[in-house]
Amino acid sequence: MSYNEAVLLLGSNINNPEKNIENALEKIEINVGSILMKSKLILTKPVEFESNKIFCNIAVRLKTQISPVKLLFELKQIEKQMGRIFDSADLGAYQDRVIDIDIIMFNNIKFVSDKLIIPHHKNLYERDFASEIINNVR
């Protein structure tokens, strides 16, 4: 069976962010695939919205047997299980969140659909904190 490699970026800024990241990583390993590499956890100020709550972020590289669309579905399920009710795309704006899991890269493909664009341009090229930790797992 063939495997795919994906790079994910996780972030949380409410309800014990470090624990949320830890819980999300456990769920990813159970439901999605094996984590091959992790960046260090970093703390950052919110980007593109106002909040006094600091984010905890991590990037991971994982091995999975599922497609990009199925991966997105599984990650959204994890977000919902952890208490995330609204996605930023649904709201049209960013807000504090218990967990956010973005697919940054998937193999070395370019993929575009209504719900998913790979590679994730903002996190790779526009957000310094993200590109820095993503480079640690690529």
Domain that holds residue 60: 4-135
Tokens of 57: 């972020």
- pLDDT 10s digit of each residue in the chain, 138 long? 689 999 999 999 999 999 999 999 999 999 999 999 999 999 999 988 899 999 999 999 999 999 999 999 999 999 999 998 877 666 666 788 999 999 999 998 998 988 898 888 777 767 777 777 887 787
pTM to 2 decimals?
0.90
Number of domains in the chain: 1
User: CA-CA distance, 2 to 98, in Å (whole number)?
Assistant: 33
Distance from C-alpha of 42 to C-alpha of 23, rounded to nearest angstrom: 16
CATH at residue 28: 3.30.70.560
Please write the tens of the pLDDT for every residue from 17-40: 999 999 999 999 999 999 999 999
